[in-house]
């Protein structure tokens, strides 16, 4: 994949953070790709008649993580019972 050098102006806090990232270019590229992926997905949901909110996405994440935590605990308990 071809690459292009760019000069960017960034807020001080972002620049400081990137100073400590091993490969800042790759980090920024991945962050931009993720953001674009999310924008495309949100646009598709809107086309499909589904309006999502940031608060709803956050709540969905918390619900999923809570379910995964319950599963993790149950697996640990089963493991201990089997030992």
State in angstroms the smallest separation of the CB of 54 from another protein. Answer: 9
51 CB contacts (<8 Å, ≥6 apart)?
Answer: 45
Q: Does 71 bind another protein (CB under 8 A)?
A: yes
Q: Which of 3, 4, 5, 48 binds another protein (CB under 8 A)?
A: 48
Q: Which of 1, 50, 81, 82 binds another protein (CB under 8 A)?
A: 50
Q: Which of 21, 61, 11, 41 is nearest to 29 (CA)?
A: 21
State in angstroms the smallest separation of the CB of 1 from another protein. Answer: 15
Please give the helix or strand (H or E) that residue 30 lies within, else none.
Answer: helix 24-47
45 CB contacts (<8 Å, ≥6 apart)?
Answer: 51, 52
User: Residue numbers of the site for another protein (CB under 8 A)?
Assistant: 34, 37-38, 40-42, 44-45, 48-53, 56-61, 63-64, 67-68, 70-71, 74-75
């Amino acid at each position: 994949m071809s690459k292009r050098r760019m000069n960017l102006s960034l807020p001080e806090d972002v620049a400081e953070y990137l100073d400590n990232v091993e490969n800042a270019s790759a980090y920024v590229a991945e962050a931009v790709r993720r953001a674009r992926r999310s924008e495309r997905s949100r646009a598709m949901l809107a086309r499909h008649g589904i309006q999502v909110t940031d608060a709803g996405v956050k709540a969905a994440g918390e619900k999923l993580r809570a379910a995964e935590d319950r599963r993790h605990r149950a697996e640990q308990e089963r493991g201990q019972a089997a030992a």
